[in-house]
Amino acid sequence: MVLDTTKETICINQIIGQKNDVLTVEGDVIVNDIKPDVLNTVSSKGNVCIYKKEVLDGKLKIDGCVNVYIMYLADDERGSVRCLNTSLDFTHIMDVDACKAGMDLDELISIRNIDCKVVNSRKINIKAYLEIDVTVCSNDNIPIIKEVTDVEGIQTLNNTMELNSLLGSGSSKIYAKDTVVLDNTDSLAEILRTDIDIVNRDTKTSYNKILAKADAHVKIMYLTEDNDIKMANCEIPVMGFIDVMNVAEDNICDTKYKLKNFIVKPNNIEEHSIYVEAEIEINAYVYEKKEVNIIQDLYSPIEDVNFTKKEVIALTGKENIKEVHNIKEELSIPEIKNNKIYDVSVNVNIENADIKNGKISYEGEVALEVLYNAENSSNIDIKSINVPFNVTVNNENIKENSNIETLATAQRQDFIVMENGTVNADLDLEFDTSVSNNEKVNVIDEITIEPKTECSSDSMVIYFVKSGDTLWNIAKRFGSTVEDIARVNEIEDVNYIVPGTQLYIPRYCKRKTA
């Protein structure tokens, strides 16, 4: 006979696979006819856009491009600085054995380095080295038996757990657009390089919606017709609503921003301005804390109980932690002296994350690329400096085997040139860390009962506790109950028994063996 049970369905977000990879994207850029020859390259900068991603059986496929800006010293009379830009498409396939079509893929792709080699005066070879971190998850609705109803004498071993159940997910595509106004005296000749960062990220919940807010911070270096190099900056608001049913303020929300496309070009409508457009996809996953009473084992002293059991991996202890670390550093760059800094590119690289119970210790470096005005010249010089950091994030949910995902960014950047040739750097590094733990949960499936056969009964049996015994296991073995054994033996704490203790076990009923 199949027993009637009370069930609760929870959505378990399980990490199926995680993988790191390095991809080299290579191509050539040809100098078009209207630009001067290349003498040598000055610097290169780029960003990654993802067109499409797919989870297939045993594989992942990611399609995207690397947009590269190359500043070069022209082989002309003035030795001017000019720019080449190109887009290098790529398709990358990764093997992840356990993944299946339809699962969720979260990817983090960053540019580690871009190497440029002058092939000849009209061609440059580009190699962009990408670091790829991927996580594949499955979202499974698992029915959990909470209670067995209308059956006399059934003994159940319950475990109350606090799980993080996936409440829902969604995405929104945003087009962040703006016009960057230049000085009226500037006649734009060429855009030399661009950069975009998503800063000031914030998430709020309202009725059945997630409000994701941020700013797209855009930096543009450009060349005027007078051969002056200048900078323009803007912050474009990014805001998207994502529908998630039954979302509440105390839910945990993972929100991620993905750059899909980035356009920067001279504005053909408004003079002395540059048009900027960023296509950004916002993905949100919402988790709710659920206290679930799960039956781990069961039996009956008077009937045979049969059931199946399977093991699932549930998410627990999920939390998002933000830690801001300030770096104040005096950079010695005597070449700068009183010259002008055009731009400083900042990349935060985590080299090692030491995870222990209660804390994560990050070690890494901030890679600074300082572009400045060369002395007695209108050209650009470049100086690369690495500033090391050590940051510790403390939280009681962090375990040695926790799932850790960290986004490290420079949110505030101030650089002041001093008269003695030093540069005072003041940076706020933000470490946005997502923590969760995997816990094995035994889930019982369909339960059936049958009358016991060939059962010999005694009113009492004496048993000596062995190492590893629990009252539950003893009661189940001899067909008694934990409550009766505790009552007869005057045991106050049913979770604590000492090996060697003599127990009187009432209502002994054990299946006969041949």
Tens digit of each residue's pLDDT (9 = 90 or more) over 68-90: 999 999 988 777 889 999 999 99
Least confident of 53-62, 141-150, 204-213: 141-150
* Whole-number pLDDT of residue 469: 93
| β-pair partners for 489 | none
The first and second tokens of residue 284, run together, are 């949100």
> Does 470 score more than 80 pLDDT?
yes
User: Which residues fall within 8 angstroms of residue 272, CB to CB, at 6 or more apart?
Assistant: 181, 182, 183, 184, 186, 187, 188
Joined tokens for residue 359? 């804390």
Strand ranges across the sheet with 59-74:
38-56, 59-74, 81-95
Of the pLDDT bands very low, low, confident and very high (cuts 50, 70, 90), residue 504 is very high
SS3 for 316?
Answer: strand
Residues of the chain with pLDDT > 90, as a percent, come to 54
Percentage with pLDDT > 70 across the chain: 95
DSSP per position, 196-236: EEEEEEEEEEETTEEEEEEEEEEEEEEEETTS-EEEEEEEE
Average pLDDT, the chain: 88
**Per-residue confidence (pLDDT) for residue 478, from 0 to 100:** 86
pLDDT digits (tens, 9 = 90+) for 449-462: 887 665 555 568 89
Q: Rounded CA gap, 181 and 196, in Å?
A: 17
Is the domain spanning 455-511 CATH 3.20.20.140? The answer is no
pLDDT in tens, 307-351: 888 888 888 999 999 999 999 999 888 877 777 888 898 989 899
Q: Is 46 helix (H, G, I), strand (E, B) or coil?
A: strand
Q: What is the pLDDT of residue 454?
A: 57
pLDDT for 262-317, tens place per residue? 999 998 888 889 999 999 999 999 999 988 888 888 888 878 888 888 888 888 99
Q: What integer pLDDT is reported at residue 509 of this predicted model?
A: 53
Mean predicted confidence (pLDDT) in 32-57: 92
Identify the band that residue 28 occupies on the pLDDT scale cut at 50, 70 and 90.
very high
* Residue 512 pLDDT: 42
Convert the pLDDT of each residue in 489-500 to its tens digit: 999 999 999 999
Q: What is the mean pLDDT of residues 36-62?
A: 93
Given a cut of 70, whether residue 153 has pLDDT beyond it is: yes
Q: CA angle, corner 106, sides to 63 and 257, nearest 5? A: 85
Residue ranges of the domains in the chain? 16-147, 455-511
The residue whose two tokens read 């998503």 is 198
The pLDDT value given to residue 377: 62
Alpha-carbon Rg of the chain, whole angstroms? 32
Query: Quick one: pLDDT band at residue 513, thresholds 50, 70, 90?
Result: very low
Q: For residue 137, is pLDDT > 50?
A: yes
pLDDT in tens, 237-259: 999 999 999 898 889 999 999 99
Residue from 133, 41, 126, 140 nearest 89 by CA: 126
8 A C-beta contact, residue 86 and residue 126: yes
Number of CB atoms found within 10 A of residue 374's CB: 15
Report the alpha-carbon distance of residue 381 to residue 334 in Å, rounded. 13
- Residue 185 CB contacts under 8 Å (≥ 6 apart), including other chains: none
Q: Which two tokens stand for residue 232?
A: 């323009």
Tokens 């650009």 label which residue?
Answer: 380
Alpha carbon separation from 182 to 84, 195, 218, 448 (Å, rounded): 21, 17, 14, 77
Q: Rounded to two decimals, what is the model's pTM?
A: 0.84
Q: How far apart are CA 513 and CA 43, in angstroms?
A: 83
Element (H, E) at 437: strand 422-451
pLDDT, mean of residues 427-442? 91
pLDDT range class, residue 514, cuts 50, 70, 90: very low
